[in-house]
Amino acid sequence: MAEVPNFSVSGFEHTASNPKTLQSAHAQMPRLHALNLSACVGARYDSATNKICFTVPIYGDACITAPMSIPLDAGLKACIQTCGALIPTGVKVTIYLNDNAVWNGVVFGSC
């Protein structure tokens, strides 16, 4: 049985790299009774695709279309938070460019 990793010990390197649905991620944790996840992670910009991508712990990789022109040397981060009561119904994210919020929305499920 898979349990929610203790990220303060393991870091985020054990996060799956493939995008997942909420249901498939939760199915890998059959004894899950509640989950509240909030984290800020590094994000990367791909100028060829105009996408900002980041890894959401437990749920996998997510990408959004950049809402504006992104300088190649810009500092990007994604702050994510699950939404819903006990079991998450979605994951929302705010993208920061040089510590200024430039985009927010839902990347998994619904909020």
pLDDT tens, per residue, the chain with 111 residues: 445 555 555 555 544 445 467 777 777 777 777 788 899 999 999 999 999 999 988 888 999 999 998 998 899 999 999 998 788 889 999 999 999 999 999 998 899
Q: What's the confidence (pLDDT) of residue 60? A: 86
9 located within any domain: no
60 located within any domain: yes
Count CB-CB contacts under 10 A for residue 105.
11
46 located within any domain: yes
1 located within any domain: no
Q: What's the confidence (pLDDT) of residue 33? A: 74
**Number of structural domains in the chain:** 1
72 located within any domain: yes
4 located within any domain: no
Is the pTM higher than 0.85? The answer reads no
Q: How far is CA 19 from CA 52, 59, 74, 97, in A?
A: 14, 7, 25, 23
Owning domain of residue 83:
15-109
Q: What's the confidence (pLDDT) of residue 72? A: 84
